[in-house]
Amino acid sequence: MAAKSTTSLDSVCTCQVCNHDFALDCLDCTCCTKDTHSMVLDDMSTPSRQVDIPAGSVTLEGDLYLGTKPGIVVFAHGSGSSRHSPRNQQVASVLQKAGLGTLLFDLLTKEEERIDERTAHLRFDIGLLADRLAAATDWLAKRASNSKIGYFGASTGAAAALVAAAKKQDMVSAVVSRGGRPDLAGQHLGKVRAPTLLIVGGNDHPVLDMNWEAFNKLKIKDKKFEIVPGATHLFEEPGKLEEVARLARGWFECYLHSEMTHA
């Protein structure tokens, strides 16, 4: 026998404006209070649901998870990867357990991925990747305007995250880079205003130097450089990716849950 539902009609939003198939707009509806909307009824507490994100002339596929606390982290995957990156999925799981929302999406379409497999050109087009990330940010902000947005970027995705953060200064509240190439963000580094955490493996020597150089070009007060001892570029050693996730969770909890503003 199925368990009896604990959802009563008193907790169901009946507003005609809200789209209960998606339920996100219940968060912004003036007639829906914090504890009386249809999020539970619409099964938003399940793992992520697939979404389509318009970005200029293309549509990008993503997986959106709404957390129980304010704050959504948008993931920018690294070169040759996708939203299915097992490392990003593992970090996202830790953030979700902390109550944060996550959006993992493909920076390239399937056709572009096929082209990139042959040419390896698009994965280093930081301008294109940053524009895609900015488009996803605009899309997300319209659907979760009460949530602060953070970026988690890996490899070249970290450069795209920093460029997009520089362009979306009023919308991005925190950035975390994992084994990233922030040096590829170039002149945009000096325009970043979001608190930024750079995480690098202690044995990832070339990337360590690149990150130090980029770190020194960041003009913000709230920035931090974390070295994970014994870790290489992909943090594949036992316990190293868990340390990345712990550091990222702390950074996002500080800057996405806090009511403070940062210059």
User: Is 43 within 8 Å of 10 (Cβ atoms)?
Assistant: no
Residue 131 parent element (H or E): helix 126-143
E-strand ranges in the chain read 49-55, 58-65, 72-76, 101-105, 149-154, 172-178, 196-201, 223-228
The per-residue pLDDT for range 22-73, each reduced to its tens digit, is 444 455 454 554 444 444 334 344 467 889 999 989 999 999 998 888 899 9
Percent of the chain at pLDDT exceeding 70: 78
List the domain boundaries for the chain.
Answer: 8-45, 47-257
Percent of the chain at pLDDT exceeding 90: 59
Say which amino acid occupies 138. D
- pLDDT average, residue stretch 134-154: 90
Query: For the whole model, what pTM was predicted?
Result: 0.80
Query: Which one, of 106, 98, 47, lies nearest residue 71 by Cα?
Result: 98
| Cβ neighbours of residue 241 closer than 8 Å, sequence gap 6 or more | 87, 90, 91, 235
Say which amino acid occupies 163. V
The neighbour count for residue 5, using CB atoms within 10 Å, is 8
The neighbour count for residue 145, using CB atoms within 10 Å, is 11
Tokens of 188: 């945009």
Query: Which one, of 60, 55, 45, lies nearest residue 96 by Cα?
Result: 45
Query: Does residue 172 have a pLDDT over 90?
Result: yes
Q: Residue 5: what pLDDT?
A: 32
CA distance linking residue 192 with residue 172, whole number of Å: 10
CATH number for 47-257 (one of 3.30.420.40, 3.40.50.360, 1.10.1740.10, 3.40.50.1820): it is 3.40.50.1820
Query: Does residue 150 have a pLDDT over 90?
Result: yes
Q: What percent helix, strand, coil does the chain show, rounded to 5? A: 40, 20, 40
Query: Does residue 262 have a pLDDT over 60?
Result: no
- On average, the pLDDT of the chain sits at 83
- Tell whether the torsion through CA atoms of 177, 183, 185 and 186 is positive or negative: positive
The per-residue pLDDT for range 179-234, each reduced to its tens digit, is 999 999 999 999 999 999 999 999 999 999 999 999 999 999 999 999 999 999 98
The larger pLDDT score, comparing residue 43 to residue 97, is at 97
Say which amino acid occupies 157. G
